[in-house]
């Protein structure tokens, strides 16, 4: 409509100059708006992709954490079993030396051995 007005040569020279400027501003602003819409759609797409990627990373992190917890539990159980075996061996082979030089084998309870080492390998249910 503005273009038709300008093509028709209506109005004063000052009006035509103002209209041409306004028309140029409208065209420029429309182009900027359209470019912003394209950029916004692009950002929305990237945001959606990042949300999906974050979800995958979060799931992987949870799986890795759970796997580490399982490994720590298994290794702790193996360590505690080895400590109990050690304590039981000491219990069966503990030698006591009396003041008069005589030697005798006197059992030292395995739990006492563990306590003297600061071990909690005889705890109930892993607690």
Q: Which residue has the higher pLDDT, 97 or 9?
A: 9
Q: pLDDT tens digit string along 12-24?
A: 778 878 888 888 9
Query: Is the pTM here over 0.85, yes or no?
Result: no
Closest C-alpha among 89, 121, 122 to residue 108: 89
- The number of angstroms, rounded, from the C-alpha of 106 to the middle of its chain's C-alpha atoms is 54
Q: pLDDT tens digit string along 90-109?
A: 887 776 656 666 666 666 88
DSSP reduced 3-state for 97: strand
- Give pLDDT, residue 117: 92
- Give pLDDT, residue 71: 96
Q: Retrieve residue 67's tokens.
A: 């796997």
Instruction: Answer yes or no: is pLDDT of 9 > 70.
Output: no
């Amino acid at each position: 409509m503005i273009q038709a007005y300008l093509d028709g040569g209506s109005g004063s020279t000052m009006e035509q100059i103002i209209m041409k400027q306004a028309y140029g501003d409208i065209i420029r602003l429309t182009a900027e708006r359209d470019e912003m819409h394209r950029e916004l759609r692009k950002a929305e797409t990237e945001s959606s992709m990042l949300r999906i990627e974050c979800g995958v990373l979060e799931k992987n992190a949870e799986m890795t954490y759970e796997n580490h917890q399982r490994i720590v539990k298994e290794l702790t159980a193996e360590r505690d079993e080895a400590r109990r075996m050690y304590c039981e061996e000491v219990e069966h082979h503990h030698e006591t030396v009396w003041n008069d030089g005589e030697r005798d084998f006197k059992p030292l309870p395995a739990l006492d051995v563990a306590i003297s080492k600061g071990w909690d390998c005889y705890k109930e249910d892993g607690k």
